Structure 1
Amino acid sequence: MPSILKDLWNRFAGGGGASGREEPAAEPVEYKGFRIRPAPYSAKGGYQTAGIIEKDSGTGTKEHRFVRAETHPSKDDATAFAIVKGKQIIDEQGDRIFG
């Protein structure tokens, strides 16, 4: 598996970044019954847009992870953009993101 894909998989599988350090998670944002958890990570001299959309259901918590191509100069910028993208995904797809 190419190194970039392996690093990405490890981040989402709970293995931390390439350095093995886990960065503190941003606070979740509630939106239309969903939770958006920004999860930007260090990449290419900046921070990659990434996050998790969650929703509680009768069978447990449903989860959808997303990564976008955009990078940002600061973690705060990437966090803010991940929230915007999460809201856009929810607005466009709603519960279908879990299917």
Structure 2
Amino acid sequence: MGFLSRLFGQRQQESTPVEPVYYKDFAIFPEAIAENGQYRVAGRITREINGEMKEHRFIRSDVLSNRGSADELMVNKAKMFIDQMGEKIFS
């Protein structure tokens, strides 16, 4: 039972709603992934285009010691990506 409760417990944690950061009509959702006591930079960028919600998910190689730092780095990288690619993110 311990294995199953840990497995389902992790899924509950991951499903906690994340408050988006809005930048240039894009919504950035930082969603760091816990890995071996550290956090991998990950998340998604969304935007409504022509009435359709588009989404781009990504996982970076960066790993940091706490979730807050990983989420902050994700938002900064997402903003740079938006500046460079604009709506082409979803192509």
TM-score (norm 2): 0.81
Match of residue 3 from structure 2: none
Given the alignment of the two structures, is residue 41 of structure 1 paired with residue 29 of structure 2, yes or no?
Answer: no
Q: Distance in 1 between matches of 2:56 and 2:81?
A: 10
**The structure with more helix, counted as a fraction of residues:** 2
Residues matched between the structures, number: 82
Q: Please, which moves more after superposition, 80-89 or 22-31?
A: 22-31
Q: Is the 8 A contact 1:41 1:49 kept in 2?
A: yes
Stretches of 4+ aligned residues off by more than 4 angstroms: none
Identity %: 34
Deviation at 1:97, TM superposition (A): 0.9
In structure 2, list runs of 5 or more residues that go unmatched: 1-5
Given the alignment of the two structures, is residue 95 of structure 1 paired with residue 87 of structure 2, yes or no?
Answer: yes
In structure 1, list runs of 5 or more residues that go unmatched: 1-17
Superimposed CA distance per residue, residues 32-80 of structure 1 (whole angstroms, 9 cap, x where no aligned partner): 0100001101013200000100001224100001111001111111111
